[in-house]
Homo-oligomer: A and B are copies of this chain.
Amino acid sequence: MSLAVQPIDDSETINPEAVRRDFPIFSGSTQPRRFHYLDHAATTPKPSAVINSISDCYAQCYAPIHRGLYPMAEQATSNYEHARRTLQHFIGAASPDELVFTRSATEAINMVASGWLKPRLERGDVVWVSRMEHHSNYLPWQLVCQEQQAQLRFIELTEDGQLDLDGTPELFAERTKFIAITHVSNVLGTENPVATLCTTAREYGIPVLVDAAQSVSHIELDVAEMCCDFLAFSAHKMFGPTGIGLLYGRQERLAEMAPLQVGGGMVDSVGDGMEESRWAAIPARFEAGSPDMPGAVGFAAAADYLSSLGHERVHRHIVSLTRLAAQRLMRIDGIRLLPHAGLPASGIVSFTHHNMHPHDMAQIAGEAGVAIRAGHHCAQPLLRRLGLTATARASFSVYNDESDIDALIDAIISAQRVFCE
């Protein structure tokens, strides 16, 4: 159960305009006209609460962590550990020791692939990922499979972009040693049934890592309920700072994991030459080097901010906006939505145009003040399967409203005028 901050405003719906005012980037003079930011799946702007929490660390209470004996060092350490506990409650973890601060979701996943899985993976074993993984939740598993001569296999997708679990009868077979799966796809927006999958996997004794990079900003996470062994996400996609992320690992699993990096702060005793060194307790063992205290504090401030908005309300707002965007895009001649059936279930809508390259659409949109993304979205295996090399993608957040959709539609229509005349 999460001890998340209560929403400050208990009305049913979000007031996008009010929330927008929390984000200084939208009031800056740098934008010539209103800035329609629709690239939240890549990274999110930051509210003042987060920006200020970081500046305050540097300006008011900055010192080394876990080492100094003077008051400011004790305070800095306590702020760092307080941030860990805030995030513990944010994801419903049993203990703060189950949370490791990492540089990013990417680093968190690499740590598990090489520190937990690699020493356990044998020739002929199988690791499963879904067809819709981001490269960050794909390449680490591919690499470890190559190194150990194991096999990496796909859970393929159905026509409407869902996991084809029925078509994957060997998922829980004996040789399966690990499953890594995204909670929400960064291209299709699909929300995967991770709790069901993890629960079944646990019955078979197969550990699962859930990539929550795309879900954490609008779905309340509860690792106990989800029943996952590992969970990873980055602060920067949930209104937090760059350069910091989180690895959650069940205590038992973390205890089995070898550190990816070694150095100061993660060791109890260091042997001379080839004499053995003894690692520190968990989670310090996995945090080699000077901790990023201001990053952690900003990360926790972002979690508090999100909790104060209320996950439920945020989710409802984003989904209904994205559906509206999808419906209006569909009506434009030549536009095709992905997946080819069903309406968006989260904040992401991907599309192509039969006559315009996604890069050209994104460029024209960008010049009109609408920030959308074009490319493979670090999901080449998915795009290859869809027979595409790039899509355009709009991804929504809590302060977006219909005017952003209007601007998007206008931009696509003017792109059509430029390219399809």
Query: Footprint of B on A, CB under 8 Å?
Result: 24-25, 28, 30, 35, 39, 42-43, 45-46, 48, 50-51, 54-55, 58-64, 67-73, 103-107, 109-110, 134-140, 142-143, 145-146, 151-154, 234, 236, 241-245, 260-265, 267, 269-274, 277, 288-295, 359, 362-363, 365-367, 370-375, 378, 380-381, 384
Cα separation A374 to B363 with both chains bound (whole Å): 56
* Contact present for A106 and B151 (CB under 8 Å): no
* Contact present for A110 and B295 (CB under 8 Å): no
Specify which chain B residues have a CB less than 8 angstroms from the CB of A54 in the assembled complex.
54-55, 58
**14 extra interface residue pairs, beta carbon distance < 8 Å, beyond A39-B73, A45-B62, A134-B263:** A25-B60, A25-B62, A28-B59, A43-B64, A69-B366, A70-B370, A109-B263, A136-B288, A139-B270, A140-B262, A242-B295, A245-B289, A269-B380, A272-B381
* Contact present for A260 and B260 (CB under 8 Å): yes
* Contact present for B264 and A135 (CB under 8 Å): yes
Cα separation A273 to B129 with both chains bound (whole Å): 9
Q: B242, B267, B289, B370: which contacts A107 (Cβ < 8 A)?
A: B289
Cα separation A306 to B106 with both chains bound (whole Å): 32
* Contact present for B51 and A59 (CB under 8 Å): yes
Specify which chain B residues have a CB less than 8 angstroms from the CB of A48 in the assembled complex.
59
Cα separation A62 to B370 with both chains bound (whole Å): 15
16 A-B pairs within 8 Å (CB atoms) are namely A25-B59, A43-B62, A69-B374, A70-B367, A103-B107, A104-B290, A106-B264, A107-B289, A142-B274, A142-B277, A152-B273, A236-B290, A242-B290, A242-B295, A243-B243, A243-B295
* Contact present for A70 and B135 (CB under 8 Å): no
Interface-centre pick from A72, A245, A289, A292 (highest chain B CB count, 10 A): A289
Specify which chain B residues have a CB less than 8 angstroms from the CB of A260 in the assembled complex.
110, 260-261
Q: A63-B43, A69-B359, A135-B263 are in contact. Are A273 and B371 (CB under 8 A)?
A: no
Specify which chain B residues have a CB less than 8 angstroms from the CB of A71 in the assembled complex.
366-367
Specify which chain B residues have a CB less than 8 angstroms from the CB of A292 in the assembled complex.
103, 242-243
* Contact present for A242 and B70 (CB under 8 Å): no
* Contact present for B64 and A274 (CB under 8 Å): no
* Contact present for A69 and B362 (CB under 8 Å): yes
Q: A104-B289, A264-B106 are in contact. Are A35 and B72 (CB under 8 A)?
A: yes
Specify which chain B residues have a CB less than 8 angstroms from the CB of A63 in the assembled complex.
39, 42-43, 371
* Contact present for A30 and B61 (CB under 8 Å): yes
Specify which chain B residues have a CB less than 8 angstroms from the CB of A271 in the assembled complex.
142
* Contact present for A60 and B109 (CB under 8 Å): no
* Contact present for A51 and B46 (CB under 8 Å): no
* Contact present for A274 and B60 (CB under 8 Å): no
Cα separation A63 to B241 with both chains bound (whole Å): 12
Q: B50, B64, B70: which contacts A365 (Cβ < 8 A)?
A: B70
Specify which chain B residues have a CB less than 8 angstroms from the CB of A58 in the assembled complex.
24-25, 45-46, 50-51, 54, 241
Q: A270-B138, A273-B153, A365-B70 are in contact. Are A242 and B25 (CB under 8 A)?
A: no
